[in-house]
Amino acid sequence: MQTPALRFRALGIALMVVLIGLPAVAAAHITRIVIDPAQSQSPVFEGRVFGPNGSVGPYEKIRGRAHGELDPEDRRNAVITDLKLAPRNARGKVEYSMDIMILKPIDLRRGNHKLILDFNNRGDLRVAALNDAPASNNPTTAAHAGNGFVMDLGYTIVANGWDFGATKEGFTISVPIARNPNGSSITGPSYEYINFDDAKSVRYELTYPAATLDTSKATLTVRARLDDPPTPVPASGWEYVDERTIRLVPAGTPFKQSHIYEFAYTAKDPIVAAAGLAATRDFVSFLRHAKADEAGNPNPLAGDVRYTFSFSISQPSRTLNDFVAFGFNQDERGARVIDGMLKWTGAGNGDQINYRFAQTGRTERNRQNHLYPEGVFPFTYQMVTDHLSGTRGGRLTRCTDTNTCPRIFNANSANEYWVKAGSLLHTDTRGNDLPDPENVRYYLISGLSHGVGNVTSKGICQQFLNPTSPFPALRALLMALDGWVTAGTPPPPSQVPRRADNTAVMAVPRPGHQTAVVPQEKLGWPTIPGVTYTGLVTARYHLDFGPRLDEGLITKYPPSLAGRPAYPIFVSKVDADGNEVAGIRMPPVEAPIATTTGWALRRAGLGENEGCEASGQHIAFAKTKAERMAAGDPRLSLEERYKTHEGYVAAVRRAAEKLRQQRLLLPADAERYVQQAQASNVLR
């Protein structure tokens, strides 16, 4: 019996024999695929068999590294900031290499001939969430397959490194540093937003090396709260450990817990970060179209891929906004790269990947990472005019011109509306509702936080965390997206807060502040004993990063809020329980046992009453009327709502069935909600 390593060596040799005599294919400038037999495995998942009655069969895992090159003179690559300043090889091309993985049916004929790009988050894979499986960058065991949802359908899952800031344990990419034409270091302004919620951190690592270690050439400020004026830390109060690290002095002094530090300095050696977008384009195109790389190494999916999809959570969903906007969904053949995108929690932002001194790991929320070029016009897919700048733009412009636009589902939690200006996806810059583009639909999954919280934990927040999961709805949306792409089946209608149906409420700006406020009475938020309401929403300003921003060059860093105008931001109104009325109301919201929110507030000692970032709340209902009356809680008790345990189960069944009929829950997930309700202790 062959070991997995020997099997993959044999596979490579066999395919090479088949391809002898064929010309090398310069496919999408993937020059070389190197499969690592030691990291590959066949079968994977301990031989588990997938598909109805085993129809798909077992899967195998192919790991390795892909090498490629980009032509700086190609118009599709010319949009990449600093690509023309990157080192070139003897052919005048810019080289890169990246980790890759392919999870595929061993017998591709038994798969569905569809590829899902697991567009990883900071190097970490995310498709496992659709399988209710534990996250792993090296799926190996049967447990790593979870419920097997994606594999049972026969999809091939692929991943590649794209983010230069990914963790070493994740999927990495090696892209070049830009240099001046004479070979010297490029320098320019850079900025670091620093916040530690522990009291032990004594060093901070900079994203880019400092051009000089002269502390008088940089500024460090500190403030206890977001609305406090920054206080300068004197040059004698901090020092460089080396060109990549700073610390307070004397050495060993910790950064103050939950205080906000901001560091502005002159950096050097910018990474050509957006090369990761082109590398992703070329890898997917290679797998879809090529027979072999330029060295003759076979494409493991040659001739199989008929449709391509992507799945992403958070940061990579924002990055795919940039991927489309900058035209990377057209490959070097002129063909579409990704047919359908299912994006979770991307809001209307980008990933500031295509700027000099890019920081792809940053993401703005109520109290973190402000003043970066993440939320920069355009926010919408369709062409609109920014009334604050007078410019016109839309994320679909380039792909519309080349007929390479994907079909897109933008699904967001309530957290994206409260802390990431999610409403700008589907309104113009004056706050007017926009009709859906032909190829895009929008879904708020009501009352959810950015991630799935633990109802027994509060973390740094005041209330227990929100445990409501989006993945049952996302599984249904994947099926709807697939049908839309492959069969033209109309998708479920968008479900988001709209001014037209009176489900949207606007936040009130606070000029000069990084947050706006949603008035309690306008939202409809009930006064719940022991629960603080401040209405904080992250504001979105039209910031001035300098006159060369469109070239990818930031000259004002950090920009100032002083005198800058803000865009209107909306969130969903809530019902008498505090649960959102707009969007997809999952059974925990439609048949609730608690108020669930996408926002939360920090507890004492950690920036009390300021935003608790990505977290939401789970605020349980009283069991009986007597208990709620004693507490002064205006929300009906479980007993008043459902009378009995059976009444609660019936309410969950109605909620699940409604979503199933709308194609927003699959039958198996609808039944699972009912089973969970039956097994619960509600009113027992």
Q: Is 404 part of a structural domain of the chain?
A: yes
Q: Is 63 part of a structural domain of the chain?
A: yes
The answer to whether residue 183 scores a pLDDT higher than 50 is: yes
The answer to whether residue 648 scores a pLDDT higher than 60 is: yes
What integer pLDDT is reported at residue 489 of this predicted model?
98
Place of tokens 């940053």: 362
Could you tell me whether strands 245-248 and 204-205 are parallel, antiparallel, or unpaired per DSSP bridges?
antiparallel
> Which of 428, 443, 458 lies at the terminal end of a domain, its last residue?
443
Q: Is 593 part of a structural domain of the chain?
A: no
What integer pLDDT is reported at residue 456 of this predicted model?
95
Which CATH number fits the domain that encloses residue 23?
3.40.50
What integer pLDDT is reported at residue 21 of this predicted model?
34
Q: Which residues contact 646 (CB under 8 A, 6 or more apart)?
A: none
Q: What is the pLDDT of residues 205-238, one digit of tens each?
A: 999 999 999 999 999 999 999 999 999 999 999 9
Question: Could you tell me if 129 and 14 lie in one domain?
Answer: yes
Q: Is 312 part of a structural domain of the chain?
A: yes
Three-state DSSP state, 619 = strand
| Number of domain units in the chain | 3
Q: What is the pLDDT of residues 341-375, one digit of tens each?
A: 999 999 999 999 999 999 999 999 999 999 999 99
Question: Could you tell me if 11 and 104 lie in one domain?
Answer: yes
Q: Is 544 part of a structural domain of the chain?
A: no
Question: Could you tell me if 65 and 17 lie in one domain?
Answer: yes
Domain holding 106, by residue range, is 4-176+273-443
Q: What is the pLDDT of residues 587-645, one digit of tens each?
A: 999 999 999 999 999 999 999 999 999 999 999 999 999 999 999 999 999 999 999 99
Query: Using CA atoms, how far apart are residues 218 and 214, in angstroms rounded to an integer?
Result: 8
- Lowest-confidence region among 9-13, 207-211, 232-236, 259-263: 9-13
What integer pLDDT is reported at residue 657 of this predicted model?
98
Percent of the chain with pLDDT over 70: 96
Q: Is 507 part of a structural domain of the chain?
A: no
Helices then strands, each counted (H, E), the chain: 13, 25
Strand partners, 38: none
Q: What is the pLDDT of residues 272-290, one digit of tens each?
A: 999 999 999 999 999 999 9
What integer pLDDT is reported at residue 14 of this predicted model?
37
Residue 151's H or E segment, with its range, is helix 149-152
Mean pLDDT for all residues in the chain: 95
Paired tokens of 374: 């993440």
User: What is the amino acid identity at position 168?
Assistant: K
What integer pLDDT is reported at residue 168 of this predicted model?
87
Is-contact 362 353, C-beta < 8 A? no
Question: Could you tell me if 81 and 202 lie in one domain?
Answer: no
Paired tokens of 393: 């733009």
Q: Is 227 part of a structural domain of the chain?
A: yes
Give the pLDDT band of residue 522 (cuts 50, 70, 90).
very high
Q: What is the mean pLDDT of residues 457-478?
A: 98
- Nearest by Cα to 162 from 322, 364, 342, 346: 322
Q: What is the pLDDT of residues 107-153, one digit of tens each?
A: 999 999 999 999 999 999 999 999 999 999 999 999 999 999 999 99
Dihedrals φ, ψ of 195, to 5°? Answer: -150, 125
Could you tell me whether strands 156-160 and 94-105 are parallel, antiparallel, or unpaired per DSSP bridges?
antiparallel
**pTM for the complete prediction?**
0.95
Q: Count CB neighbours of 489 within 10 A.
A: 13
The answer to whether residue 24 scores a pLDDT higher than 50 is: no
Query: Using CA atoms, how far apart are residues 593 and 605, in angstroms rounded to an integer?
Result: 30
What integer pLDDT is reported at residue 28 of this predicted model?
59
Question: Could you tell me if 112 and 250 lie in one domain?
Answer: no
- Lowest-confidence region among 8-12, 325-329, 588-592: 8-12
Q: Count CB neighbours of 644 within 10 A.
A: 13
Is-contact 282 333, C-beta < 8 A? no
Query: Using CA atoms, how far apart are residues 528 and 451, in angstroms rounded to an integer?
Result: 24
Paired tokens of 521: 């009475």
Question: Could you tell me if 159 and 196 lie in one domain?
Answer: no
Q: What is the pLDDT of residues 384-409, one digit of tens each?
A: 999 999 999 999 999 999 999 999 99
Total residues found in the chain within this entry: 684
Give 30-90 as a DSSP string.
EEEEEE-TTT-BSS-GGG--BSGGGSSB-EEEEEEEEEEEE-TTSTTTTTSTTGGGS---T
Question: Could you tell me if 192 and 170 lie in one domain?
Answer: no
Question: Could you tell me if 214 and 147 lie in one domain?
Answer: no
> Which of 268, 301, 323 lies at the terminal end of a domain, its last residue?
268
Q: What is the pLDDT of residues 414-441, one digit of tens each?
A: 999 999 999 999 999 999 999 999 999 9
Three-state SS for 310-347 is EEEECHHHHHHHHHHHCCCCECCCCCECCCEEEEECCC
The answer to whether residue 70 scores a pLDDT higher than 90 is: yes
Question: Could you tell me if 151 and 285 lie in one domain?
Answer: yes
Q: What is the mean pLDDT of residues 546-557?
A: 96
CA within 13 Å, CB half, 607: 27
Query: What CA–CA distances, in Å, run from 469 to 170, 272, 466, 529?
Result: 24, 36, 9, 26
The answer to whether residue 314 scores a pLDDT higher than 70 is: yes
Q: What angle do CA 627, 630, 635 make, to 5 degrees?
A: 65
Query: Using CA atoms, how far apart are residues 214 and 281, in angstroms rounded to an integer?
Result: 41
Question: Could you tell me if 143 and 283 lie in one domain?
Answer: yes
Question: Could you tell me if 261 and 366 lie in one domain?
Answer: no
The answer to whether residue 9 scores a pLDDT higher than 80 is: no
> Which of 416, 443, 470 lies at the terminal end of a domain, its last residue?
443
Counting Cβ atoms within 10 Å, is residue 534 exposed (0-12), middle (13-18) or buried (19+)?
middle
Q: Specify the DSSP class assigned to residue 442.
A: E
The answer to whether residue 448 scores a pLDDT higher than 50 is: yes
Question: Could you tell me if 164 and 204 lie in one domain?
Answer: no
Q: Is 137 part of a structural domain of the chain?
A: yes
> Quick check: bond before 250 cis, omega within 30?
yes
Three-state DSSP state, 365 = strand
